[in-house]
């Protein structure tokens, strides 16, 4: 187990002093036991719970009360103040005998990031309910169900304030105890007691559990019948308490609380101390506190005043320490000027910088949630109001200041403050005001104190970046979504600058030149690819239904921006529609797999559902756009498409068999295309559960990753044609982030999509594969030959995709996508064939003698999207 330390089942005792003298009387060779009471909910009666627990605690039996606290329970907790008051009172009146835990059913089966989110929300809402009842208790233990199979490692829960987790199986099993990489303790196993157990049932369960070595975990249920008299609750508690006391006397085991178990591991439990130094605004000298901390190799985050945002943007920052801008109420008017430099305040030389912002504000002065999107860490430096901790709805880890040091302090006083003002075992965020340590000797004394603490086994000193990485679990989907939100699209409107409009119109005419010069006068179709050979244009005189769909939308786009007049528009459309050909597969009439564009060859009948989905989308948009009846409905009804759909899945021909078309991340586009015509298809992607847009995005990207790499197409095609679905939008955001991150890291402009190449295997799908521990760039072909999977081949075909560049600039106009389009204009424009497919990364050049229908057709679509006011084709009016 390389990511966790397995703890000995013998559980060496005596690591710390405990509050219960009864517990200390037991030798280290005995086994700790825990009693957890579940089924307490925010609807439970406070008096009934107290009556149930009274005969248990009176037997000096420590008990952990697990309060079920999912989203459906929050409102009830706010309304049941008497229960929250009773829970708080129990922890005060029975020190060392009562712990509170939060029960979150299903937590173990969630994605790691969403597990942190759920735990954060539940713990914060629990504390909110406690505060309303004048309570302060913050649970550090979470209880959930153990699923079948190997239990997952619940890393990352420390970020939410939880230090111990219990996974309880349906059937009894001996617990194992892990120390996870984030320092939390995880207990897998235990024995459930039946509801309202008898003394004999408890004795049998106890005997079964004690027949094995190791810690014991017993789980009882609080009776959920609130119609009972309180005496009935007392009687059931008495059965439980008396039975455990009798069985305990005859065994060598002893009961403790979850909060004590983590100290019995034989491994010291260290609290994280996050060190933040609030810079006083003056230049750093060799005697300053920051300099002395750096010299002593004490990690810290420098909190820099927002007034230094401009110097940070210009690169005039200190090096060595992790940095974070500090924003106050007075800075809010300048927030947009602060936001971008704030993303530059990360440690240089790290592959995964952690972007932070510190909010020094009161009341409603903080920026709203969208303004804070993109930060990994948001530090609340308020000294009075205490905010939430854990992950928020925007994907940021929220921290709050634990202790403020604004005057010179001795080592003893510092330790007392840390131990007395912060709940036991809780991680600490220390905010030190550098202005209080202007005297070198005061700074020196503080540094020595911090070094001493760091060398002890009580604390581990970290900066904000180190803390984030230490207490969270890595999530590539969450990282990508944060990164994308740092680079918002430029706000655009219909009143485009005349020069920009004219430039785009010239680009559109260049793209249209491919269609203008190569459309067959008889069939109205356009060859899939064309090239210049011996000073003349040669063509591949076939097209797929995907190509034909592109042709139809190129005609619509050209008409919508004024390149084609009404007569030319109608003539071209009618010819292209007449050129649609039908093949036969197993007796079914279906769109042909490959059509001769000059009508002189047979083509092939291998029906392709993905290509047909694009054609169906195009036909739907043409029918919506055109004023006249073009007979499109009759064309679609002439195919037996409904017979190719099995259990909601479109089937496609592969090797003379029908197989699922849902083999890649084109699946969402395929489903939407068929759905436009009412075919009974279902999306292969599950609907994300309720949550914030960020949370749902993480869920979506997890599924997207299972389908394979992400490319610009078809997600941005969907955006400019129909408007992006949540799936398409989220996948596009992730890809955009990966591309711009690669550019910022290497200086290489990246824009990946599908496209033809003028060499075998003739077509390449470039994309980005999301993985749990990161991601990688991919280049896939339909030919599985090993020669097309080598590093050299991938390098040779790597290109900045031309149509992808225009799609990105339409969907997400900003400085980066401007660079993409300018690169295509400069290097991929040809003299005779419109735009070539892309600019090769190795040579920095395009193939000027090669082009294709999809490159030019999609560029036309993207430009028309912009010139029509940034609305999808489905909303254009002829």
* pLDDT computed for residue 307 by the predictor: 74
Q: Sort 678 into a burial class: Cβ within 10 Å, 0-12 / 13-18 / 19+.
A: exposed
Sequence length of the chain is: 878
- Are the C-beta atoms of residues 180 and 4 closer than 8 Å to each other? yes
Strand partners, 838: 801
> In the predicted model, what is the mean pLDDT of the chain?
89
Query: Could you tell me the two tokens for 181?
Result: 């990489």
Q: How confident is the model at residue 7 (pLDDT cuts 50, 70, 90)?
A: very low
Edge to edge, what strands does the sheet with 657-660 contain? 645-646, 649-654, 657-660
| CA 662 – CA 769 distance, rounded (Å) | 17
- What are the distances in angstroms from CA 102 to CA 118, 147, 175, 397, 415? 11, 18, 19, 20, 30
DSSP state of 332: G
Phi, psi of 576 (to 5 degrees): -65, -40
Quote the distance between the C-alpha of residue 174 and its chain's center.
35
pLDDT digits (tens, 9 = 90+) for 415-431: 888 877 777 789 999 99
| CA 824 – CA 820 distance, rounded (Å) | 6
* pLDDT computed for residue 424 by the predictor: 76
Cβ neighbour number for residue 199 with a 10 Å cutoff = 14
Residues 354 and 246 reside in one and the same domain: no
| CA 360 – CA 820 distance, rounded (Å) | 39
pLDDT digits (tens, 9 = 90+) for 118-159: 999 999 999 999 998 888 899 999 999 998 888 999 999 999
Query: The tokens 């969450």 sit on which residue?
Result: 478
- Are the C-beta atoms of residues 446 and 409 closer than 8 Å to each other? yes
* pLDDT computed for residue 423 by the predictor: 76
Residue 10 lies in a domain: no
Query: Could you tell me the two tokens for 308?
Result: 């230094």
Residues 278 and 238 reside in one and the same domain: no
| CA 33 – CA 218 distance, rounded (Å) | 8
Residues 420 and 516 reside in one and the same domain: no
pLDDT digits (tens, 9 = 90+) for 782-802: 999 999 999 999 999 999 999
Query: The tokens 């197409």 sit on which residue?
Result: 713
| CA 467 – CA 112 distance, rounded (Å) | 18
Tell me the CB-side half-sphere exposure of residue 648, using CA atoms within 13 A. 7
In sequence order, the 6+-apart residues with CB closer than 8 A to the CB of 843 are: none
* Nearest residue to 141 (alpha-carbon basis) of 112, 194, 100: 100
Query: Could you tell me the two tokens for 775?
Result: 């991601």
Q: Which of 1-10, 340-349, 415-424 has the lowest mean pLDDT?
A: 1-10
Q: What DSSP element (H or E) covers 733?
A: helix 726-746
| CA 545 – CA 47 distance, rounded (Å) | 71
Residues 278 and 256 reside in one and the same domain: no
Residue 14 lies in a domain: no
| CA 790 – CA 785 distance, rounded (Å) | 10
* pLDDT computed for residue 211 by the predictor: 85
Residues 96 and 37 reside in one and the same domain: yes
**Residue 705, domain extent:** 498-875
pLDDT digits (tens, 9 = 90+) for 563-604: 999 999 999 999 999 999 999 999 999 999 999 999 999 999
Measured at the CA of 862, the angle between CA 618 and CA 662, to 5 degrees, comes to 50
CATH number for 655: 1.50.10.140
* Domain endpoint, select from 409, 441, 474: 474
* Nearest residue to 324 (alpha-carbon basis) of 296, 360, 292, 350: 360
* pLDDT computed for residue 102 by the predictor: 97
* Domain endpoint, select from 433, 459, 474: 474
Measured at the CA of 847, the angle between CA 843 and CA 850, to 5 degrees, comes to 165
Q: How confident is the model at residue 19 (pLDDT cuts 50, 70, 90)?
A: very low
DSSP state of 374: T
Phi, psi of 530 (to 5 degrees): -150, 150
Residues 647 and 766 reside in one and the same domain: yes
Residue 368 zone, left/alpha/beta (φ > 0; ψ -120 to 50; rest): beta
* pLDDT computed for residue 754 by the predictor: 97
Q: Which of 298-307, 344-353, 505-514 has the lowest mean pLDDT?
A: 344-353
Residue 695 lies in a domain: yes
| CA 754 – CA 765 distance, rounded (Å) | 4
- Are the C-beta atoms of residues 378 and 396 closer than 8 Å to each other? yes
Q: How confident is the model at residue 496 (pLDDT cuts 50, 70, 90)?
A: confident
- What are the distances in angstroms from CA 285 to CA 290, 292, 293, 443, 621? 8, 9, 12, 12, 67
Residues 169 and 301 reside in one and the same domain: no
Cβ neighbour number for residue 134 with a 10 Å cutoff = 10
Quote the distance between the C-alpha of residue 185 and its chain's center.
25
- Are the C-beta atoms of residues 799 and 755 closer than 8 Å to each other? yes
- Are the C-beta atoms of residues 124 and 148 closer than 8 Å to each other? no
For the cut 80, the answer to whether the pLDDT of residue 455 exceeds it is: yes
Virtual torsion, Cα 331, 334, 337, 340, nearest 10 deg: 50
The CA R_g of the chain, rounded to the nearest whole Å, is: 33
Phi, psi of 324 (to 5 degrees): -155, 130
* Domain endpoint, select from 229, 260, 291: 260
* Nearest residue to 515 (alpha-carbon basis) of 875, 859, 764: 859
Q: Output 506 or 423, whichever has higher pLDDT.
A: 506
Residues 313 and 189 reside in one and the same domain: no
pLDDT digits (tens, 9 = 90+) for 721-770: 999 999 999 999 999 999 999 999 999 999 999 999 988 999 999 999 99
**Average pLDDT for residues 686-695, to the nearest whole number?**
93
Residue 3 lies in a domain: no
| CA 264 – CA 248 distance, rounded (Å) | 19
Whether this model's pTM surpasses 0.85:
yes
Query: Could you tell me the two tokens for 414?
Result: 């510092």
Residues 215 and 296 reside in one and the same domain: no
- Are the C-beta atoms of residues 105 and 70 closer than 8 Å to each other? yes
For the cut 50, the answer to whether the pLDDT of residue 347 exceeds it is: no
Judged by DSSP in three states, 440 sits in helix
What 363-367 contacts at long range (C-beta under 8 Å, 24+ apart), as own/partner pairs, is: 365/328, 365/329, 365/332, 367/327, 367/332, 367/335
Query: The tokens 């405990």 sit on which residue?
Result: 18
Virtual torsion, Cα 585, 587, 590, 593, nearest 10 deg: 20
In sequence order, the 6+-apart residues with CB closer than 8 A to the CB of 204 are: none
Q: How confident is the model at residue 309 (pLDDT cuts 50, 70, 90)?
A: low
| CA 363 – CA 385 distance, rounded (Å) | 9
Q: What DSSP element (H or E) covers 357?
A: strand 356-360
Judged by DSSP in three states, 855 sits in helix
| CA 553 – CA 559 distance, rounded (Å) | 10
DSSP 676-687: TTT-----SSPP
* pLDDT computed for residue 683 by the predictor: 95
Residue 533 lies in a domain: yes
Q: Could you tell me the sign of the dihedral formed by the alpha carbons of 288, 294, 298, 302, in that order?
A: positive
Residues 463 and 548 reside in one and the same domain: no
CATH number for 45: 3.20.20.370
Number of domains in the chain: 3
Residue 97 lies in a domain: yes
Phi, psi of 847 (to 5 degrees): -85, 100
- Are the C-beta atoms of residues 729 and 719 closer than 8 Å to each other? yes
| CA 225 – CA 380 distance, rounded (Å) | 43
Residues 590 and 720 reside in one and the same domain: yes
Residues 254 and 278 reside in one and the same domain: no
| CA 501 – CA 503 distance, rounded (Å) | 5
Judged by DSSP in three states, 39 sits in strand
Residue 579 lies in a domain: yes
Residue 338 lies in a domain: yes
């Amino acid at each position: 187990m390389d990511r966790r330390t397995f703890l000995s089942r013998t559980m060496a005792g005596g690591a710390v002093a405990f509050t219960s003298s009864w517990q200390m009387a037991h030798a280290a060779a005995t086994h700790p036991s825990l009693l957890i009471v579940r089924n307490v909910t925010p609807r439970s009666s406070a008096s009934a719970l107290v009556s149930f627990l009274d005969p248990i605690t009176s037997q000096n039996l420590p008990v952990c009360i697990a309060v079920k606290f999912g989203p459906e329970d929050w409102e009830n907790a706010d309304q049941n103040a008497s229960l929250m008051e009773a829970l708080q009172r129990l922890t005060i009146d029975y020190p060392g005998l009562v712990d509170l835990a939060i029960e979150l059913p299903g937590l173990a089966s969630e994605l790691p990031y969403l597990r942190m989110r759920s735990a954060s929300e539940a713990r914060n809402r629990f504390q909110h309910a406690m505060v309303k009842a004048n309570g302060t208790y913050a649970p550090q233990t979470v209880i959930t169900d153990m699923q079948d199979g190997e239990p997952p490692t619940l890393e990352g829960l420390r970020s939410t304030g939880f230090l111990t987790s219990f996974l309880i199986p349906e059937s009894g099993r001996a617990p194992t105890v892990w120390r996870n990489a984030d320092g939390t303790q995880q207990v897998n196993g235990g024995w459930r007691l039946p509801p309202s157990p008898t003394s004999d049932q408890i004795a049998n369960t106890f005997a079964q559990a004690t027949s094995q070595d190791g810690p014991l975990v017993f789980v009882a249920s609080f009776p959920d019948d609130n119609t009972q008299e309180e005496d009935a609750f007392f009687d059931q508690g008495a059965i439980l308490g008396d039975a455990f006391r009798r069985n305990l006397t005859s065994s060598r085991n002893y009961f403790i609380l979850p909060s004590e178990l983590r100290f019995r591991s034989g491994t010291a439990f260290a609290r994280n101390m996050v060190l933040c130094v609030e810079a006083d605004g003056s230049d750093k000298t060799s005697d300053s506190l920051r300099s002395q901390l750096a010299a002593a190799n004490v990690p810290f985050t420098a909190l820099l005043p927002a007034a230094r945002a401009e110097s940070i943007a210009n690169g005039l920052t200190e090096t060595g320490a992790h940095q974070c801008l500090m924003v106050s109420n007075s800075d809010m008017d300048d927030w947009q000027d602060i936001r971008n430099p704030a993303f530059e305040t990360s440690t240089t030389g790290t592959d995964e910088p952690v972007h932070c912002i510190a909010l020094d504000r009161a009341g409603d002065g903080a920026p709203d949630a969208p303004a804070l999107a993109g930060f990994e860490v948001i530090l609340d430096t308020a000294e009075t109001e205490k905010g939430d901790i854990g992950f928020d709805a925007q994907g940021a880890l929220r921290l709050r200041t634990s202790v403020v040091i604004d005057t010179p302090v001795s080592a003893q006083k510092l330790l007392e403050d840390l131990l007395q003002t912060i709940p036991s075992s809780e991680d600490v965020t220390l905010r030190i005001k550098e202005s209080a340590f202007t005297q070198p000797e005061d700074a020196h004394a503080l540094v020595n104190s911090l070094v001493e603490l760091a060398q002890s086994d009580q604390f581990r000193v970290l900066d904000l970046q180190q803390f984030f990485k230490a207490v969270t679990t890595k999530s590539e989907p969450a990282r990508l979504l944060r990164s994308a939100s740092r680079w918002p699209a430029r706000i655009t409107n219909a009143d485009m600058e005349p020069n920009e409009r004219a430039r785009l119109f010239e680009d559109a005419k260049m793209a249209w030149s491919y269609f203008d010069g190569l459309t067959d006068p008889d069939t109205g179709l356009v060859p899939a690819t064309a090239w210049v050979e011996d000073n003349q244009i040669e063509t591949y005189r076939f097209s797929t239904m995907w190509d034909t769909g592109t042709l139809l939308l190129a005609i619509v786009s050209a008409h919508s921006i004024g390149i084609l007049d009404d007569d030319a528009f109608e003539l071209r459309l009618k010819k292209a529609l007449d050129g649609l050909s039908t093949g036969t597969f197993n007796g079914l009439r279906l769109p042909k797999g490959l059509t001769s564009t000059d009508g002189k060859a047979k083509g092939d009948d291998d029906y392709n559902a993905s290509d047909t989905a694009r054609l169906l989308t195009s036909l739907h948009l043409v029918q919506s756009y055109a004023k006249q009846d073009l007979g499109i409905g009759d064309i679609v009804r002439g195919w037996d498409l409904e017979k190719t759909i099995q259990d909601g899945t479109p089937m496609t021909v592969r090797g003379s068999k029908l197989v699922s078309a849902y083999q890649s991340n084109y699946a969402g586009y395929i489903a939407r295309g068929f759905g436009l015509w009412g075919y009974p298809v279902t999306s292969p992607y599950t609907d994300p559960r309720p949550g914030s847009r960020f949370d749902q995005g993480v869920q979506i990207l997890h599924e997207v990753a299972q389908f394979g790499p992400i490319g610009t197409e078809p997600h941005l095609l969907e955006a400019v044609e129909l408007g992006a679905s949540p799936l398409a939008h989220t996948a596009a955001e992730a890809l955009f982030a990966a591309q711009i991150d690669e550019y910022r890291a290497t200086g290489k402009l990246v824009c990946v999509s599908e496209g033809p190449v003028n060499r075998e295997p003739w077509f390449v799908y470039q994309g980005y594969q999301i993985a749990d521990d990161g991601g990688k760039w991919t280049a896939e072909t339909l030919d599985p030959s090993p020669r097309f999977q080598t590093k050299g081949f991938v390098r040779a075909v790597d290109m900045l995709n031309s149509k992808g560049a225009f799609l990105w600039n339409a969907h997400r106009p900003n400085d980066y996508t401007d660079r993409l389009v300018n690169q295509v204009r400069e290097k991929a424009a040809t003299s005779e064939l419109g735009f070539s497919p892309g600019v090769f990364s190795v040579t920095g050049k395009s193939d000027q003698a090669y082009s294709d229908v999809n490159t030019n057709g999609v560029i036309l679509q993207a430009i028309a999207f912009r010139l029509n006011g940034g609305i999808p084709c489905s909303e254009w009016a002829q």
